[in-house]
A and B are shown apart, each in its own frame.
Chain A
């Protein structure tokens, strides 16, 4: 018989320890979130040296609203990726909802009714994904790849080559307005509010724990009596709802809608989530990490934009960062567990990557020096 209480027999070693495992002070800092904080510091410091426009409150306020649609869609994406699934249709759902609202507005329907209808349509879109993935049990990648095309097609079907324009100012406030008299855009405040809610659900509720457990071992979770199918259905519906909300924010920000709005944004959403430490295989991640990574990507893109580095070229830096974000934790893990038997090959390749990364940035600062000096 296994002794379950350490008090009953002080001499024998109890097999189940009732204290939390001790971790060294240093290992607490080996979390990915700290790496993100460090990177943000570096980005801020470097960019402040290079240009006076980086830490300007007005500029930051203006540029932050560029990323809020990605942020809103990233919140449920974190849930989905933690369960080990994916949702490629978010940007198309966003376009579809925004186009539907635009169509209704063009037909003369009241803007708020149209917005509510758009939210409903987006949620239904998420439900379709959820149904096919959780009930019919089709693979998430294939289903959302299909709806990625399907919803974008519907967006074009609603608006054709028209635009919807002339939204009332009360509505465009959601994308363009600021909170009270401050410089904080309403969309940022909305994102932060939703992020806190999603973060609390993920880390402080049993629903959130179920997500992690589904990601770690779906079968075991299922056999433990957790309603896995229902949970998956809920998170995909949530993703659809947030995508349509992001669509409304985008329409409000542009003051108009065209069917191609937001094409390609799903990759930015997934990048932000994965860079934030959410493991693509599922089971690990934190909302704080995702939030920090969105901040990092936003600051990096803003800083590179100020140096007139072209959008596609910025992708080199983001891409390298993403690869490193997967490489470094695994390096640290294998180094700490291997002790003397370090795998020199992977250590060397990681070092090479880091070198390439650093050299890339050096090259860019050097090549853009003339441009920077001019402005």
Chain B
């Protein structure tokens, strides 16, 4: 083509003009700390975030769930909005449609570009999000994680719903109760195979199953429903076919437990196959009453969202820096202290899992 060089020249001019105009805009990021300096202990010595906040008006925090359309995260958003009203800040709820790390990273990049005042993230991949988390912190945006943590370097601290071990142990205990004295075959229906919290819980469950008191329980398979209702439903059905003697399905995911309970009900296996795991009261009420899922556990994701926003506010206003031992007040939930854990790094512990069954399910509305 004859005028190819003209195109190339024009494109180069276009790119150059964009770069020049970008250099022209005053850079509020002039005080950025180079990304290399953000090791976990060095995080505390970064300039207090308050000086980085854009001058105009109230602060904006963003709650980033694993994916949208998940009732568990929708509830945590409710708690976050409650905290937002109390604090006088704005909380945006932004997520990707699928529980995918690449999409989450792209979303986070655009949020960093918008210079929001804080990020509370539930990570789809603990390792892949570390560079992005580091960049956000270097850009002066405090990053905390809730529900599912990013690796230690990629966030200031993690808001831990309950001790990892307790979550796994309680699910095995419930499974043992449901399987009865004779024990039997159990299976785990998880979310995505890469979700850090899921994998951590499954590890604990396997560890607990090795104990002598659970010797009658036999874990036959771990399947993945990808936090997708249809896939979880199909995986549950596949389990019934593959293991006719299956007694209990443990689904440590609110999408998976609802889908499994529905699968049990549709297949007419109530009483023969029990479902347990982590679920939300409103979604599971009918299954608790029908006997498909007689008991399950959870912590309150509403409080988790609420706590995350208070934590971000404390960081953004400079009340705390994100160092071990600091305490901050989280509205109606009281005071929380940042602890250090060899595996989890800096974290704040919300509480312990709570068992829902027919006797108390009507007391909750979320």
> A residues within 8 Å of B by Cβ?
28, 31, 33-34, 37, 40-41, 44, 48, 51-53, 55-60, 62-63, 66, 160-161, 163, 165, 172, 176, 203, 253-256, 258-263, 286, 288, 291-292, 295, 301-302, 305-306, 308, 310-312, 371, 374-375
Contacts and interface: CB of A to CB of B under 8 A. Distances in A.
30 contacts: A31-B1, A48-B21, A51-B114, A52-B25, A55-B18, A55-B22, A58-B27, A59-B113, A60-B18, A62-B135, A63-B106, A63-B109, A63-B110, A63-B113, A66-B106, A160-B193, A161-B194, A161-B199, A163-B127, A254-B128, A255-B127, A255-B128, A256-B127, A258-B127, A259-B193, A260-B101, A261-B128, A306-B110, A374-B90, A375-B116
Contacts of A63: 106, 109-110, 113
Given A37-B10, A63-B109, A176-B131, A261 B114 contact: no
A53 B19 CA distance: 13
B247 interface: no
Find the residue from B21, B113, B125 having the highest chain A CB count within 10 A: B113
B360 to A, nearest CB: 35
Contacts of A286: 1, 4
A57 B109 contact: no
Given A53-B113, A59-B113, A258 B96 contact: no
Given A37-B10, A55-B22, A308-B94, A260 B131 contact: no
Majority-rule SS of A interface residues: helix
Interface string B138-151: 00000000000001
Given A28-B3, A256-B125, A55 B135 contact: no
A63 B108 CA distance: 10
Given A260-B194, A375-B116, A305 B107 contact: yes
Contacts of A308: 92, 94, 110
Given A62-B112, A308-B110, 14 more contacts: A41-B14, A55-B18, A55-B21, A58-B27, A66-B106, A163-B126, A254-B105, A255-B127, A258-B127, A258-B194, A305-B107, A306-B113, A310-B97, A371-B92
Nearest to A182: B19
B55 interface: no
A313 to B, nearest CB: 9
A37 B9 CA distance: 12
Nearest to A291: B11
A255 B131 contact: yes
Given A203-B4, A311-B97, A305 B110 contact: yes
The 7 closest A-B pairs by CB, nearest first: A256-B127, A305-B110, A59-B113, A57-B22, A254-B128, A161-B193, A312-B97
B62 to A, nearest CB: 9
Contacts of A44: 18
Contacts of A301: 106
Contacts of B116: 375
A274 B21 CA distance: 30
A204 B192 CA distance: 47
A66 B97 contact: no
B210 interface: no
A302 B114 CA distance: 11
Nearest to A160: B193
A312 B193 CA distance: 22
A210 B111 CA distance: 46
Given A258-B125, A311-B97, A56 B22 contact: yes
A13 to B, nearest CB: 26
A250 to B, nearest CB: 8
A163 B125 contact: yes
B68 interface: yes
A56 B92 contact: no
Interface in B266-303: none
Nearest to A33: B7
Nearest to A286: B1
B355 interface: no
Contacts of A302: 110, 113
B25 A311 contact: no
A57 B114 contact: no
Interface string B72-111: 0000000000000000001010101100111101110110
A302 to B, nearest CB: 7
B8 interface: yes
Contacts of B100: 260, 263
B288 to A, nearest CB: 30
Contacts of A253: 131
A311 B90 contact: no
B2 to A, nearest CB: 8
B194 A374 contact: no
Contacts of B10: 37
Nearest to A52: B25
Interface in B132-176: 135, 151
B66 interface: no
Given A53-B115, A258-B101, A66 B11 contact: no
A169 B126 CA distance: 18
Most chain A CB inside 10 Å of its own CB: which residue of B7, B8, B10, B92: B7
Interface string B242-276: 00000000000000000000000000000000000
Nearest to B226: A260
B151 to A, nearest CB: 8
Contacts of B22: 55-57, 60
A256 B128 contact: yes
Contacts of A165: 127, 151
Interface string B334-355: 0000000000000000000000
